[in-house]
Structure 1
Amino acid sequence: MTYAAIILTGGRGERLGGVDKAALSYRDATLLDHVLSVVDDASEIVVVGPEKAVPDIIWAREDPPGGGPLAGLAAGLAHVTADWVAVLAVDQPGITKDTIARLRHTGRNAVLKDDRTQWLIGVWNTAELRRVIPEDPRDRPLRKTLQQLDLVEVSALPGEARDVDTPADLDTLHSG
């Protein structure tokens, strides 16, 4: 099963003082580089957010920028032709190629779950996803939209669902 990937990078990073999460250092690269490496076997990779000098990527932006993750997802989905699409946030340093493989292996709409459902670590049937996206997705809740789909939750491995939202998360990222 071929798949596309949409990576959402347009968040404001308010709890981190407005930092561009995609540009944060992680190991010897950036968080964006890390997520791109996890989906480098995707037939199409769409990054939604401010454009950067990264080759072989389809860039998209919600209109107007800052409309929230559902608006970003809709903007990215406009560029996807594959039957399945991985939808990921850029601030997920714990995800791996195995994460995506486990989600894809279900053959169903699938999201990662640790102590809570990780709506921005999932693999979705593109046609089904398009059917539930509202005409105007700005500032609408992503979770409520995706909950309309029949899905399976895949248990996260330790550390797999961590994200970078706060200064403490950033300290953990740089110490790991």
Structure 2
Amino acid sequence: MDFDAVLLAGGRARRFGADKPAAPVGGRTLLEWSAAAAAGAGRLIVVGPRRDVLPGAVVVREDPPGAGPVPALRAGLAEVRAPRLVLLAADLPFLRPAHVARLLDAAKDRAGAVLVDGDGREQWLAGAWRTTTLRDALAAYPGTSLRGLLGPLDPIPVTVPEGDRPAWYDCDTPEDLAAAERLL
């Protein structure tokens, strides 16, 4: 599959209180888990501060740093060369390459696909998109909400079996990280 991966790893992590993507869980950083899920990507683009855990990754910063997911997507998208991309948060320890492949497959004839959680809510930082569609949408979008940008693109919702380790589980707090460690 011809795709690049954009990992958003530069937020302020107010609820977490530390460098969330660099936090270890199960012997890897959260950032490494998300990168591993996108293992088939032609290019791995990390938006956030430089961390020496992903050799070969293209690292860029949003302007200004910590400005939010829309400016971060804009910065990452500038480095995308493939016709499709996966957009991922850097705190998804249970997302796997099979989930990414399922997103890409669902999006092959559409603008995009987005993972939905067990309650049917879109997880905007776990999706696959047509690159030109995102570029066009960003060029016309004045807002700051990722949902406001991506929702109108009418992505295909993708569910995956939950099991003990839901693919959409993210680590927003130290308690979430501790729970992920227990599940791993």
TM-score (norm 2): 0.89
Structure 1 counterpart of 2:14: 14
User: What secondary structure, in the 3-state scheme, does the structure 1 residue paired with 2:44 have?
Assistant: strand
Q: Could you list the runs of 5+ residues in structure 1 that have no partner in the other structure?
A: none
CA distance in 2, matches of 1:30, 1:131: 33
Which residue matches 2:175? 168
| Paired AA for residue 161 in structure 2 | L
1:125 maps to a residue whose letter is: R
Aligned-partner residue type, residue 110 of structure 1: A
Deviation at 1:56, TM superposition (A): 0.6
Partners in 2 of 1:150 and 1:135 — Cα distance? Answer: 16
Three-state SS of the structure 1 residue aligned to 2:33 is: helix
Q: Separation in 2 of the partners of 1:94 and 1:170?
A: 12
Aligned-CA RMSD value: 1.5
CA drift of 1:94 comes to 1.7
Which string of whole-angstrom CA distances, capped at 9 and with x for unpartnered residues, describes residues 38-57 of structure 1?
A: 11210111000001123111
- Measured after TM superposition, the shift of residue 34 of structure 1 is 1.1
**1:10-49 mapped onto 2 (5 Å cutoff):** 10-17=10-17, 19-49=18-48
3-state SS of 1:133 partner: helix
Q: Give the paired residue count.
A: 174
Shift of 1:135: 6.4
Query: 1:167: Cα distance to partner?
Result: 2.8
Whole-angstrom distance in 2 between the partners of 1:55 and 1:171: 27
Q: TM-score, normalised by structure 1?
A: 0.93
**Is 1:91 the counterpart of 2:91 in the alignment?**
yes
CA shift at 1:105, angstroms?
1.0
* 1:85-106 alpha-carbon deviations (Å, 9 max, x no partner): 0000001112111110101111
Deviation at 1:74, TM superposition (A): 0.5
Give SS of 1:101's match.
Answer: helix
Contact map agreement 2:25 2:177 (CA 8 A) in 1: no
Q: Which amino acid aligns with 1:169?
A: D
Counterpart Cα distance in 1 of 2:29 and 2:100 = 19
Letter in 2 for 1:50: P
Letter in 1 for 2:126: I
Please name the residue that 1:133 is paired with: 138
List per-residue Cα deviations over 1:141-170 (Å, max 9, x = no partner): 010100121310001321111110123212
* 2:122 is aligned with 1:117: yes
Runs of 4 or more above 6 Å deviation: none
1-structure distance, mates of 2:39, 2:11? 22
Unaligned runs of 5+ in 2: none
Instruction: Please tell me whether the aligned partners of residues 11 and 67 of structure 2 are also in contact (alpha carbons under 8 angstroms).
Output: no
**Matches of 1:157 and 1:146 in 2, distance apart?**
24
